[in-house]
Structure formats: C-alpha cells, structure tokens
Structure 1
Amino acid sequence: MSSLTSLARALAVRDERAQPIATVRHFFVSERPLVLIPLAMAGEANAPLAAMVGSAPDQPRLLIVPQPRNRDQRFQFAASLGAIVRSYVDSFARRQEDVRGRRRFTDAPQLLVPNPGGIDFVRLFGRSTRLRRTWGEYAVKPEVPTLGKWLTFFAERAEHPGSSLMLAMTSALSMHWATGQSAVEDANLAALMAWFGAKPFEAALEAEDPERWPPAGPATDPTFDAATLAPAIERYSKTDADSIARQMAFERLAVVLRTQLEPTWQLMWRALDLLRQLPAGMSVVERWADDRDTFTNYVTYLETGGGLPQPRRDSAVAAASRLSRLERAQAKFDAQRALDDPLVMAEFRLAGEAFAGTVVAADPNRLDASGPRRKLRPHVTVRTADPLRLPVGTDLASPIRRSQTARIVSIEDSDIVLELTGGMGKTLTPAPGSVPDLGEHVTYSTVSARFQPSSNFPAVEDTPWTHGGPPAPHEPTEEDALEAWS
C-alpha cells in the first residue's frame, strides 16, 4: 500500500466516505458490457452451480445446474452459457476500420465479474471446456469448446496489465477509490460499495451478513449451503425425471439461487455507473485500441487458423515470451497511469523521482552550436518545493509534452535547469506551446511510457535442451476428453 493510499484510507474513516486516489479512469468501460456472476458448488472442483449473465441491467439471465455432480447437466449449463457468450462476442465482430493498412473491429466485447475469484472461475471453466470434443464417447455440444476458447481468451487478457477486455469490479473500484477498511474487506463487493453511500460503517457491517448480502461468488455461504441449497438439490434429485414434482423442485431451486445472485447483479451495475462518472485517462484510448487489435486477431485466428484451442500448457519459449510481454505491459501501464493522473504521479514526487513547480526562467530560442550543425536546445528553469533525488544528466519526461525529453543541466537550491530536446518541430524556432512559458506549472519525472523492444527468444524448434528441447507437435488424444472438470 502506498503512502497516499494509506492517507486516503485514514481520510475515508474520518469523512465516512470513499476517497478518490485517481482523478481519471484508467480502464475502458464499454457501453454494453457482459456482466457474469458465477457460483460454484462447494466441495467440488470448480463445478458450476449457477450464473447470472446479461448485457443490460434489466435483462439478467439465470442459468443453473440443479445437480452439479451430474456431468450432462454441467455441460448443458456450459452450452447455454456458450450460446450467450458467442452471441455477445459475435455482435462486435461486424464493423471494421482501416488502421495503418490493416483492418480491425471498431469495438470489442468486455466481460465484467464481481471479484478476482470470478476471473479464476472463468480461467478454470475455460480450461475444463475448451479441449472437449464434439464427437466420440464423451461428445459435447459445439457451444461447449467454443465457450472454453473465449473464456480462456478473456482470462488471459485479464492477466495483461492495462487490458479492459475482462475486469474484476472490486479491483477496478479499488484502483480509483480508497475505503476505510482493509484490502481483504474491499474484496467483498457489498462491503466496498457501502463506502459510496450514507453511513458506511453500518452499511459495511450489514454487508458482512450473508443473509442480507450473499457473497458475490464464486463461493457460496456455508450456512446457505447447509440450510437451504443442499435440501433444495436433494429435493430435486429425489423426484422423477419429466415429472411435475421435478419441475416444481427445479423452479424452487431457481428461486433460491436467484436470491443469491440478484443483490450482486444490482451492485455490479451501480459500480459500473460510478466508474462511468470518471473521465477516461489519455492513454485509455491507446490501450483499448490494443484490446481491439487483440480481439480482431483472435477472431481472425478462429475463422482462418483452424480454430484450435489454446494449449493445455505453454511451451518453454511461449511461456518466457508471455512473461516478458506481461512485464513490459506492466511497466508501460504504470508509466501511463502516472502520466495521465496527477494523484498517481504524486507517489513518484514523494519518492523523489518526479517534481512539480513553476517555470521562473526560459530561453526558448537557445541554440546548441557545439556540433557540426546548430540544434534547437531551449533551457527552462523550474522552481520546486518537492524533494529531488535525481542527479544532473537525468532524462525526464512531462505528462503534457510526452514526445519531449528534458535533461537536468544543473540544480541549485530549489531551481532546476532543464535542456529540452524533441517535440518542438523541425525548424530552429520552437512551435507554439512546445516550450513551457514563464509562470507555467509543470511536472517532470523519470516515468516514461515509450516503446520498449521485446526480448529475443529462440524459435520453438530451437528450444535448448535445458528447457526440454523442441516440444513435440500437438496431437489430439483420448486424454483430452478425459480431463478433470477442474
């Protein structure tokens, strides 16, 4: 936890209200996201129990598995969910735009779950369904492996820093607001949302009552399991198939599960409204464009690349390459957040890696004639009260002029002289606004979101023996259909 977040938590307790720790929204919010609230059967390895899903607050769809230990019912649930997800995803794969000679979709789907546990459920459920076969002894409906491929796609993008294709609502809210409770309590969506209303202490206490605010899944409340769910499932199991009694037992079970999901459903859309009230950060557009590129590439792969599911395990080269991508994405996301948001940048100022101040002197037309030809190298002097732990010669960047580099020339007391390079045009006269004016408030830091080249990894066929050597080509086997549900 950062120093400013700690302070914000203390202020939240004092003011009895969640405190902003961001001035802009750092994620894209779709106009039509798909909200998914999954429930899993206690004591079973990620066996689905129910889900409430939909893309409109007044149109939730409830899917249930009346007997989660029944394989056929589990896959019927997967097929029903697959049809919903496929229809939703396909609705975004229609309109395209031309970007630098290539085509991409103008929009992309967005999957929202209540908490990180929902992401784990999606990841495991995708793993357990994407390798299923639509023929043979353990055949399933075509919607099942299709669902698995898309759920795996969303879960993998959820691990990608800055991606908005799949978000956990508690994590998204906690990135923008601080409450007066612990991070563990913030993982409870009802308790977290309590800090956005009146009397948060009482509301947060009520949120801990599973009867008034059932858990947001995928785990259910043990008391509910023993007192309500287990008898309802047993009543269903004891009835004869295709009987009126079974239909009544099914409807009663559906009512029981709906009471567990509807409160979270309402909270998800309220939380979504809170996020929409924040203006999007400058870099959100760029990251969402990257998401749309990824979505376009995956749709193209499914349509033209044979549609093979993601492998059960990555090869050594693929795993190393993926880890490198995630590390670079995390560094870029952290930098973009700081450049977009003064509150995030304040952490760097506290650490002495950035400073803000007022321009007290400027020589915008200064030329450097030390080389074979003259170059425009303006000098500006910034007076700051921030602690600075950067030496002379350090290259800095400004959130306002991101294509420009400022190098520290000298430091005297609270005055810092900077030499500017780039972002001023191609002539020896700086373009209007490209050099800070006298009296302008500016911020400079070591934070940079510039492109970082990827690491060089060997080709898959050149995998060294220390990492298992070249992997054998994937061949479908009988074991693919026998994979455990988890």
Structure 2
Amino acid sequence: MRALQRGQAVPIVAQRQLVIQPHARILTLLAMAGEDTSVHAAALGRFGYSPEINVVADPRRRDDQYGLLRWLLPLFEAYYAECRAAGTFPQIWVSSSGALGHLDTLADRLRFTDEDDIKRLGTLWTYAGERSPVAGQQALIAATKALCAHFATGQQEGEDEHLGSLLTWIEPPAGRDIFAAVATAEAQPMAEKTDPRFDRTALQPAIQDYNRARSAGESQAVLSFYHARIQQLLEGVIRPIYAATQRAMSVLTAARWQPNPALDALADQEAQEFERFMMARDQGYLLPYHDKPKAGAMKIVARERAELNLEAGMLRHDRAAREKGVVSGSVLRAQVVDIRQQKVRPRLFEYDFVLSSHQDGLHLRAGDELWTLDDPKMSLRVDGVERRGPFTWVTGRVLVGKNAAKRMSLGTTLDFGPEAPNWQAIGNELAQMSVRLTNVPWTHSDVTPPSAPIGKPMPADLLAAVERLA
C-alpha cells in the first residue's frame, strides 16, 4: 500500500537476502515460439561486462542449434572448473522464473541426447536446475525473485515477474506517472519468449526468407545476409533482457544493503553441494530423468532440512525475518517474570521460567523445545501455555544453559525460536530414512497385511461412543 501511495517500490528488508558471487554469470536464452526446448539466441557474460551473443537462424535445424550449444559448453566448463579450483560455487543469473524454468527444462532434455558434448552441457546445467527448488540455494537466481525479496511494489505478485516493470517500480522515471512507465516497460519482453506481434511481423518473415534461400541453394553470402538480419532482430530483444538482469544485480549490490551473517552458512553449504555434484560426475554416476522412490524420498528429506535450517538461520541473523516471526507467532518474544529454582540433588538444580508475552497468535504447545535466538544460548521445554487477558503466560523448564538461567535478571526480554541451523545433521536424517526404506511399508507394496482381531466388543451405538470421547 505504501508503494502504491508513493508510486515507487519500498524496501522491505535492510539486510541482503542472498549471496551475490562477484564472478556470477548472466545467462539469457531466447526460445522460438512453440519450441519450448529450443535456444534461438544466447547471451552470456559476467556482472559488469558486455555479453557474448550467439544466434542461430532457425533452431528447428538440429545441427544449427547444437552448434550454438557447443559454443556455450566450453564457457561453462571453464567457469565450473574455475569455481571448483577456488573452492566456491558457480552462480547463474536469469531474468525471471520463466527463464529459470526454461533452463531447467533444457538441462533435462539435453542430458538424453545422442551427442556427448551436448549431454555434458545438460549435466552442468542440471546442477543449477536441481538446486533451484531447494530453500536457501544460491546456484540459480531469478532476478525477479531476488528483487522481490528486497522490495515491495504497488502491483500484483504475478506482475512482478516482468523484470522491466519491477525495475521501473524500484527506480521510476522522474516526473512520469508510474503506471504509464510500467506499461511502457511491459512492452519489452523480459523472459525466454519474444513478443507474438514481433514474431508475426518481423521474425517469422526473416526466418522464412532464410529457409527459402537455403532450400534454393543460394550462396553462402546470401545466407549470411539473411542470418545477419535474424541476428539483428534477436539482439534487439536479448540485449535489453541481459541489461535488465545486470541492472537488477547492480541494485542488489548497492551499499545500502547491510551484511547478513546467515548467508555465510548458505555459501559454505552451496560450495559443498557443488563439490559433491562434480565428484559424482567425475566418478561416472549418471543423472536419471526420474528419481527412484528411495532417491526421491532422500531429496524430500534434504529439502525439508534445508528449509528448516534456512528459517533458523534467518531468525537469528536477519532482523526482518525475526520481526515477521514475531508477528506470525513462530517466534516467542517474552519477558522473564519469574525464575524458579528446584534442587534435585546436591549441587544439581533445575530452573523453570515463567514468561509473559503480548503475542496472541503463538504457535506453542506443551512439549515444544525452544531456543534463544540471541546470547545467552538456552533451550526451554514448554510445560504450559495460558492466555490471561491481553497476555500469554508460558512456563517451561531450562534444558540447556542452566548457568545462564541462574544469572538471568527478571524483566529481561528474550526471543525464542527453533534450534540453530545444523547443516551436518542431514547425514543422520538420510541414514534414518535409508533404514526406514529397507522394508517397504504395506501401503506401497502389493501385500495387504492380515486384519487384526478386535479385542473389545463393538458398541451398540457407535456414534454415541464417538461423541463420548469428546
């Protein structure tokens, strides 16, 4: 609402929300209309540098498109090798979620062609594609998603997927109505497809002329003329997309964004994931098109753990995430009202906290284990939650940090949330899942277990029996 009032996007965080690699590559691909797995034009470059551009006249001709992909392969081979030697990870920036999906689809398709070098490019792209749905990943970044993590605009979320209109909201032209400026920006394609009117009136006739000359056996000079015409048309589309992605990165690397310590762990984790991926390729392990049930279950576990670790890390180091947690009730912000000391045996004491909070939407129940999000490090097992007028009273026993609890002053305000992120714990969880999957549960097998006899007689009135349980 504030952005709509001002006619300009407003920042929603003060700290940077993602890692931006100084060596990141910007990749812009254009697909031919109706050919979702094609690459008509490609632009590749580093942040702050002009792109290298390659265009094929007609990507429906397999040899021509493979020629473009072979041009890309050594560029990505060199970049991945550079990152691996430096012990870091590659990062690819695309303009939008649509462009991200196009790259992911291409990676899947290219891995199963009959050309080894094309398979290799698909394999390299698969690293970024497989990482893209994982919470906290830093390998494949859509510029629109990155900007939306930092700004709120006065338009709908779906409209924010157009990078040009999103950047217009962030840096609107002076003295011009914001909606008129956005409408002008939306006329320029910003994803993987060209404008249908442009296709109909300019691009399609140019491709038809090229194919007609090729079928007629015209000289190479004539074909080069028609190819140059197509390249000129597509460069007029692809260069603004590349430039807009550069501009998005420039906005996000500005000095206004404060450092975020939570990103350090994400960068380390990404580097480890990249090294594991490349080692598996070196050892000859193939990437399947569809995961087997066990592999799929393992990936689900890994994604769930990544999401929990990301949330825990952000709640500790990102102020905006912390305040959102307080509002949503996932973070308990409370004052220490009482500390009860109980002697269990000589020189051993237990400490119970009584906390008071103004929050009325807390997601708490008895048995939950909460950890302080700041120093001192303590964990609390919730024993009771009670609402008294405008306050929520929480009682709990200190499990970890008893020395800190003993020195705690009444009236101190503490923030409690999930346990600190533990990226190494994923190994234990995967091992547990592997044990569970050793024996396939009956719900996923062809064998139905025998029915167990009922020990008690069936009640005469089943409905009444169920109601009595309430």
* Band of TM-score, shorter chain: 0.7 to 0.9
Distance 2:267 2:180 in 1: 37
| Correspondence for 2:117 among 143, 148, 164 | 143
Counterpart residue type for residue 114 of structure 1: S
Find the counterpart in structure 2 of residue 443 from structure 1: 415
Question: Which is bigger in relative contact order (C-alpha 8 A, separation at least 6)?
Answer: 1
Q: Percent identity?
A: 22
Structure 1, 265-274 or 161-170: larger mean CA deviation:
265-274
Q: Which residue of 2 aligns with 1:193?
A: 167
Q: Which residue of 2 aligns with 1:281?
A: 260
Contact 1:396–1:447 under 8 Å retained in 2: yes
The answer to whether the 8 A contact 2:343-2:350 is kept is no
State the alpha-carbon separation in 2 of the partners of residues 242 and 311 from structure 1. Answer: 44
In structure 1, give the amino acid aligned to 2:293.
Answer: A
Larger C-alpha radius of gyration, 1 or 2?
2
How many residues end up aligned between the 2 structures? 431
Aligned-partner Cα distance in 2 for 1:256–1:159: 34
Q: What is the aligned counterpart of 2:32 among 38, 41, 45?
A: 41
Q: Does 1:374 align with 2:356?
A: no
How far the C-alpha of 1:438 sits from its partner, in A, is: 6.5
Aligned AA for 1:157? R
Among 56, 59, 69, the residue aligned to 2:50: 59
- CA distance in structure 2 between the partners assigned to 1:338 and 1:204 by the alignment: 36
Cα distance in 2 for partners of 1:317, 1:409 equals: 38
**Deviation for aligned residue 1:409:** 6.7
Q: Distance in 2 between matches of 1:371 and 1:202?
A: 74
Which residue identity does 2:291 align to in structure 1? D
CA deviation after TM superposition for structure 1 residue 374, in Å: 0.9
**Does residue 295 in structure 1 map to residue 274 in structure 2?**
yes
The 1-side partners of 2:90 and 2:232 are apart by: 30
5 Å-filtered alignment, 1:64-463, equals: 64-95=55-86, 105=87, 107-133=88-114, 140=115, 142-198=116-172, 202-203=177-178, 205-209=180-184, 213-240=187-214, 243-277=220-254, 278-303=257-282, 305-306=283-284, 308-356=285-333, 368-371=342-345, 373-375=347-349, 377=351, 379=353, 384-387=357-360, 389=362, 390=364, 394-401=368-375, 403-407=377-381, 414=391, 416=393, 421=398, 424=401, 429-430=403-404, 441-445=413-417, 449=421, 453-454=429-430, 456-457=433-434
Q: Which moved more, 1:406-415 or 1:181-190?
A: 406-415
Distance between the aligned counterparts of 1:41 and 1:387, measured in 2? 54
| Other-structure match for 1:12 | 3
Which has more helix, going by share of residues? 2
Q: Which runs of 5+ in 1 are unaligned?
A: 1-9, 96-104, 134-139, 470-486
Deviation at residue 220 of structure 1 after TM alignment = 1.3
SS of residue paired to 1:456:
helix
* TM-fit CA distance, 1:371: 4.8
Q: Give the CA RMSD over aligned residues.
A: 3.3
Distance in structure 2 (CA, Å) of the matches to 1:399 and 1:288: 21
- SS of 2:28's equivalent in the other structure is strand
Label 1:358 to 1:12 Cα distance change in 2 as closer, same or farther (>3 A): farther
- Which deviates the most, 438-447 or 398-407? 438-447
CA change 1:372–1:39 in 2 (3 A) is farther
Deviations 1:75-121 (A, max 9, x none): 111111112111111111213xxxxxxxxx2x111011111111211
| Gap regions ≥5 residues in structure 2 | 447-470
SS in 1 for 2:287: coil
Distance 2:395 2:139 in 1: 40
